[in-house]
Amino acid sequence: MKKSTSLLVLWSAGILLSLTACGSKIESPKATSSEESTAQTSSQANAQGKYGIGDKITFDGQAEYTITGVEWSEERNQFDQSHPEKVLKVSYNVTNLSDKDLLIGSDIDLYVGGKKMGTYPNIVD
């Protein structure tokens, strides 16, 4: 269970930061309830939706994501049919700020230049 959670977290982080590293805007994850999720950040750059290594992003007071690394990956998933030219691997840590179990990454949509990006099942170290 712990390994699968780690894989899901890393996969989600990769998606989240892949768009960030391209200098694009990141949309907040979709809310699981009727309330909208909001990102609370401490720096002015984060108010514009740009995040870097070491930045912390708090979503709806439920989870805190800390970006720990970004790198281009040469590894490709042999079972994926998309054959992407580039894959950006984003690493992050997630802290659950609530007393409830937290599902990570299932409702995150990423956008670059107003265009929704796809996901890629990358290998987790």
Q: Domain for residue 121, yes or no?
A: no
Structure confidence at residue 12 (pLDDT) = 57
Percent of the chain whose predicted confidence (pLDDT) is above 90: 10
> Would you say 59 and 28 are in contact if contact means Cβ atoms under 8 Å apart?
yes
> Would you say 43 and 70 are in contact if contact means Cβ atoms under 8 Å apart?
no
Residue labelled with tokens 């907040």: 28
Residue 41, pLDDT > 90, answer no
Strands (E) across the chain are located at 39-40, 56-59, 63-73, 87-96, 111-112, 115-116
Query: What is the tally of structural domains in the chain?
Result: 1
Structure confidence at residue 106 (pLDDT) = 58
Query: Residue 103 corresponds to which amino acid?
Result: L
Q: Domain for residue 93, yes or no?
A: yes
Using alpha carbons, select from 67, 90, 121, 104 the residue that is nearest to residue 19. Answer: 90
The pLDDT tens digits for 90-122 are 788 899 999 999 887 656 666 777 888 777 777
Give residue 27's pLDDT band: very low, low, confident or very high (50, 70, 90). Answer: very low
Q: Domain for residue 122, yes or no?
A: no
Task: Quote the domain boundaries for residue 84.
Answer: 2-116
Q: Domain for residue 124, yes or no?
A: no
The number of C-alpha atoms within 13 Å of 69 and in the hemisphere containing its C-beta is 8
* pTM over cut 0.85: no
Four-residue CA torsion sign, 55, 103, 106, 5: positive
Structure confidence at residue 30 (pLDDT) = 39
Structure confidence at residue 89 (pLDDT) = 79
